[in-house]
Amino acid sequence: LTPAPAGFVDNSLDCDDTAAAINPNAPEACDGVDNNCNGMVDDLLFFTYFRDGDGDGFGDLAATLDTCLTPAPAGFVANGLDCDDSDPAINPDALEIVDGIDNNCNGIIDGDVSISEVFSKTSLYPNPTAGHLTIQHQAGEALEVEIADLAGKIVLRQHVDFYTDRIVLDISTAQPGMYLLTLRHERSGQAMQVKVVKAGW
C-alpha cells in the first residue's frame, strides 16, 4: 500500500481532529467530553455524593450530586447520614443528650440516654445563668467538669471535690450563648452532659 501523504491517515475515526488528546485510543475522563470517540460522554462509573452543609463529615440524604468525579467534590461527602445538616453538633457521632433533639441521628429523641445512679440526684441552676452556675451533687464525690461551646472550644475545665453537696462555677467571662457542660464521675468514669445557656443580661 502507498503510505498516506503527510498530515493524513488511512482512517476517519477521530471525533475531534483539533485536539490530539481526543481519539479512539484516549482514556475517557470525567470532563464532559467524549474523549475516546465512542459516541458517549463521560461513560465512567458514577458516584452519588451528599451535600455536607454544616461541615461535620455527614451529608444530607435529600441533597445529592451524581458525578463521575472522585473523590467527592468540595462540600459533599459519600454518606447521607446527617439528620440535621444545618447543625454540626447533630450527626451520628454526636453524644445523645436530654434536650428534646435526636442528637445522634438514630431516630430516637433522648431515647437512648440513661442517667445512672451516680447522677440521679445531680442538678444545676440557674439555667440560663448570667455567670454563676451551681452544681448540686452528692457530698464526698469528685467530678471532672468541662464546659465547651458548640464548636468544641473548651471554656472551663476543672476537677471538683464535693466537700459539701454543691459548688458554684464562675462562667461570667464566657460569651453569651449555648454551651455543653459535661460532668464525669471520677471513680466510675460515668458521665452526663447538659446544655447550659450563658445569658447576656
Query: How sure is the predictor about 183, in pLDDT bands with cuts at 50, 70 and 90?
Result: very high
CA distances from 175 to 7, 130, 197 (A): 73, 10, 10
DSSP 68-81: S-SSPPTTEES---
Express each pLDDT in 148-159 by its tens digit.
998 889 999 999
Tell me the pLDDT band of 114, cut-offs 50, 70 and 90: low
pLDDT in tens, 11-61: 889 999 999 999 999 999 999 999 999 999 999 999 999 999 999 999 999
Segment among 3-7, 31-35, 39-43, 193-197 with least mean pLDDT: 3-7
Residue 28 · residue 36 · CB < 8 Å: yes
